Amino acid sequence: MLKPIKTKQECSKALERVYNLMQKEIIPNSIESDELEYLSKLIKEFESKEYKLPKPQHN
């Protein structure tokens, strides 16, 4: 079951799973393609909170 990523360790495991899924020939709309999509979204959400970029300075 997929759940929100809360730690860097969980993110690392999710990235490893994404890598493994990307090495396969995944059929669109399959369980694996859905898993890849959900994991990607969860990773993006975690990284956007964990690694905040500074706001650009306007002169």
Question: Whole-model pTM above 0.95?
Answer: no
Task: Kindly list the domain boundaries of the chain, sorted by start residue.
Answer: 9-47
pLDDT reported for residue 43:
97
State the average pLDDT over residues 28-53.
Answer: 94
**pLDDT higher than threshold 80 for residue 59:** no
Neighbours of 26 (CB within 10 A): 15
Is the separation of the CB atoms in 36 and 51 below 8 Å? no
Q: With a cut of 90, say whether residue 58 has pLDDT above it.
A: no
Contact 14, 5 (CB under 8 A): yes
Q: Is the pLDDT of residue 51 over 80?
A: yes
Give residue-wise pLDDT tens across range 7-36: 999 999 999 999 999 999 999 999 999 999
